[in-house]
Amino acid sequence: MELLSACSHPCWSLLSLLLGLLLWARRRRAWDPRKCPTDLTGKTVIVTGANSGIGKYVALDLARRNARTILACRSQERGQVAVEEIRAATGNPAVLLRLLDTSSLASVRTFAQAVLREEKRLDVLVNNAGVTGLPFTITPEGLEQTFATNYLGPFLLTNLLLDLLKASAPARIVNVSSFRHSAGTADSRCLTGQERLSGFDATYNSTKLMNILFTAELAQRLQGTGAGGGARSCPDPCPMAPVGWAGGSQAPSSPAFAWQSAEQGAVSTIYCAVSEEVSGITGKYFSSDCRLALPSRAARDPGLARKLWEESERLTGLTDGPRP
């Protein structure tokens, strides 16, 4: 009763209003894609999971910048609808659909082979595709489905396309993560279902932690090769735009907070993909308001990142050992 009385006090309402105004003012000062002059004429980009939500808005923005825009989608029907809508909205005829199911390593390999065969360059790879709420399922390849979709599939895809990205330098890789990674675990046994987490949230959170560890380790492995350190002559394997599972960043339930739309949630990913401000920044984590942020302690553990990478290589067949 005392809590209810406090929340109904006029001062509480005033505080909520002031907080809301502060957040509104901060949003007004936020980076605006419409004011970014980056032109992608002659560039090729891939956005996974681009038939709806954040991925669709990212693809729309890149197409408006005149990029050859490849929508990597699981559904032919929904993907083609998105392609037609983006072509109509942007006037860019070079918006294409390619089928990709990141939960299937075979599908990832088929997609990558087609890209390497058909595309002369790749300037931006946005690993956006992801799921939550799926029941615990082991795929025919012996992988847990959500971990395969959100983490292992993008891990394999990035590695298979890495040489093309290097040859197209300066290029960028954007791995979409979430602030919820801080509640995740990076136990590699989860990848094959040997360790089963309790609940959808724990699984989703863990895949997003793995995305950050993957990004950090990739940046380390590219150092000294002419392809790391954020140099313009190499891929920038880095900026991670954290967004929420429902198409935007999440906030506490309060009148002063509101869910972001998918369009708003796409801003940080677009920022990492095209802004000049992130040139030369590699292996870092960006918040939903397009600011460099410090991820969780586990996400900053280089030993954990290396161990996860090595097991991911084995499971995806990138190194010697039994394939799943």
φ, ψ of residue 282 in degrees (nearest 5): -135, 145
How far is Cα 138 from Cα 155, in angstroms, rounded to an integer? 18
Length of the chain: 324
Q: How far apart are CA 11 and CA 6, in angstroms?
A: 9
* Closest to 155 measured CA to CA, from 48, 290, 301, 303: 48
- Residue 224 β-bridge partners: none
Residue 154 gets which letter from DSSP?
H
Q: What is the DSSP string of 194-250?
A: SS--SSHHHHHHHHHHHHHHHHHHHHHHHTTTTS-TT-TTSEEE--B----TTSS--
* Cβ neighbours for 90, distance < 8 A, ≥ 6 positions apart: 60, 63, 64
Strand partners, 171: 235
Distance CA 324, CA 153 (A): 13
Rounded CA separation 248/234 (Å): 30
Q: How far is CA 292 from the centre of its chain?
A: 15
Q: Which of 57, 151, 204, 285 is catalytic?
A: 204
| C-alpha pair distances (Å), 55 with each of 36, 90, 175 | 19, 16, 12
What's the start-to-end Cα distance of the chain, in Å? 56
What's phi and psi for 10, nearest 5 deg? -55, -35
Query: 271 an active-site residue?
Result: no
Q: Which residues are catalytic?
A: 204
